[in-house]
Structure 1
Amino acid sequence: MEKEGLPEYSKSQLALRNGQDKPQVWVAYKGYIYDVSDSRLWKRGMHYEHWAGQDLTEELKDAPHSDSVFSRFPVIGILYVNHNL
């Protein structure tokens, strides 16, 4: 997947898309941000013990499914990480 042309969002911008603060429900995985708003599994901003508005890269290692689940959702941006902090 190509990151070129996708908007960048910070972790704080991602955190607002948690299913409670704004109507969008987003999660990040391996640097990409996915819109999971239409998923019945994320309706309240939580999917099992995972919260929306966060980077789930590390958490998915313990999931009972592969990362192919993200192919169902649109990529809406990339997660900007400032390494200078």
Structure 2
Amino acid sequence: MNTYTLSQLALRNGQDKEEIWIAYQGLIYDVSASRLWRNGKHYEHWAGQDLTEELKDAPHTAHVFDKLVVVGKLKA
């Protein structure tokens, strides 16, 4: 599995490259196909970021990540 830095993740924000990625608990997920992440924005959240800390404020659980494709690991 490929490893990516925060800088590389930031480029997959829905604006700079075609891919739209987010990170959660050290894994990077591709949300490009999700209608909920159009243009790299999901409510008040932006793609290209580690959203681990933000999940506690979300109206859903971490099970939403079960439906997404893992594309890599976030470099510690």
With the length of structure 1 as denominator, give the TM-score of the two structures: 0.88
Residue 20 of structure 1 aligns with which residue? 15
Q: For the residues of structure 2 that align with 1:51 and 1:29, how far apart are their CA atoms?
A: 13
Q: Find the partner of 2:61 among 44, 66, 70.
A: 66
Hey, what's the Cα distance between the residues in 2 that align with 1:40 and 1:28? 18
Structure 1 CA distance for aligned equivalents of residues 18 and 38 of structure 2? 10
Q: Which has the larger radius of gyration?
A: 1
Tell me which residue corresponds to 1:48. Answer: 43
- Unpaired runs of 5+ residues, structure 2, are none
Q: Secondary structure at the match of 1:44?
A: helix
- If each structure's helix is expressed as a fraction of its own residues, which one has the higher value? 2
Count of residue pairs the alignment pairs up: 76
Q: Deviations over 1:46-78 (max 9, x none)?
A: 000000000000001100000000111100100
Q: Distance between the aligned counterparts of 1:58 and 1:13, measured in 2?
A: 19
User: Residues of 2 paired with 1:11 and 1:45: CA distance?
Assistant: 16
Identity %: 66
RMSD (Å), alpha carbons = 0.4
**Normalising to structure 2: TM-score of the pair?**
0.98
Question: Which secondary structure does the structure 1 equivalent of 2:39 belong to?
Answer: coil
